[in-house]
Amino acid sequence: MGIGELLLLAVGLSMDAFAVSVCKGLALRRATFKAEFTCGVWFGGFQALMPLIGFFLGTLFATAIQAVDHWIAFGLLAIIGVNMLKEALSKEEECDCGGNADLSVKTMFIMAVATSIDALAVGISLAMVGNVNIYFAVTLIGICTCLLSMLGVKIGNVFGSRFENKAEIAGGIILIALGVKILLEHLGVLA
């Protein structure tokens, strides 16, 4: 996987965290750098940690499923992407954050885990692909998510929920497209 594909993957994975950060920004009276940084570090940290865990879990059983690994990678990315699209299209225009401006450790931990579960499956997919520098990939994913989450808090605070659903739709499309690309490369359709 090249840097362009990894960057697209990082952006796609960060869209859930971006959407939640927009909600956080909506709920905050004023978006301070501390609030933006808190969201960025929590979401970015977990988005980096989960694919690393998934990658090492995937390498444990990669040899046993080597013949179908490209189908598994495609399936996982497609399921995550379709789920993101479904969630984005089923939401109402209003952000469902309920005015929750809580940035406590407990709240942020729960939200960070919830928005990064899909990254665990992506880590397994990266193990199936094989030609990935996982440390570079997770660093890129973490930094991208951190920056987009910080931006999401600011955007939510300034503009409202206008961008939340569009971000999730874009993320879903990116993940599905990457899954299709992986499958087509392994089937020899793309060189």
On whether residue 191 sits in a domain, the answer given is no
Q: Which residue has the tokens 């570079």?
A: 136
On whether residue 62 sits in a domain, the answer given is yes
pLDDT in tens, 15-30: 888 888 887 887 788 8
On whether residue 143 sits in a domain, the answer given is yes
On whether residue 154 sits in a domain, the answer given is yes
Tally of domains in the chain: 1
* pLDDT band of 173, cuts 50, 70, 90: confident
Domain with 108, as residue range(s), is: 3-91+100-186
5 pLDDT above the threshold of 70: yes
146 pLDDT above the threshold of 70: yes
On whether residue 36 sits in a domain, the answer given is yes
